[in-house]
């Protein structure tokens, strides 16, 4: 181990007894192309049509999660929003 690694380990271990735990929310998206607009669904019991999904719906869910875990939300996006594989 080089000297910098040893110092880093010592710093981390010295604060080990002082650490606090917290809950974080991890939101991950991937391969969302084709889902930008909501899909129109049909209820089987009432035959009523409704919209489901889409970017607006996803954005509102992310805002709800961010509100439940303020400052402790990790958003990971793996890309591929606009087209399929190349």
Q: How far is CA 67 from CA 35, 45, 58, 62, 64, in A?
A: 24, 34, 14, 9, 5
Q: How far apart are CA 6 and CA 60, in angstroms?
A: 45
What does DSSP assign to residue 25?
E
Say what the pLDDT of residue 85 is: 52
- What are the sequence ranges of the domains in the chain? 21-86
Q: How far apart are CA 68 and CA 77, in angstroms?
A: 20
Q: What would the pLDDT profile of 21-80 be if each residue is shown by its tens digit?
A: 788 899 988 877 777 889 999 999 999 999 988 889 999 999 999 999 999 999 988 876
């Amino acid at each position: 181990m080089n000297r910098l690694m040893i110092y880093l380990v010592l710093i981390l271990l010295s604060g080990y007894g002082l650490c606090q735990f917290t809950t974080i929310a991890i939101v991950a998206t991937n391969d969302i192309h084709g889902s930008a607009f909501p899909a129109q669904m049909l209820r089987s019991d009432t035959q009523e049509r409704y919209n489901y999904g889409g970017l607006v719906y996803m954005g509102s869910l992310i805002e709800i999660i961010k509100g439940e875990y303020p400052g402790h939300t990790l958003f990971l996006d793996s890309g591929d929003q606009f087209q399929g594989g190349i």
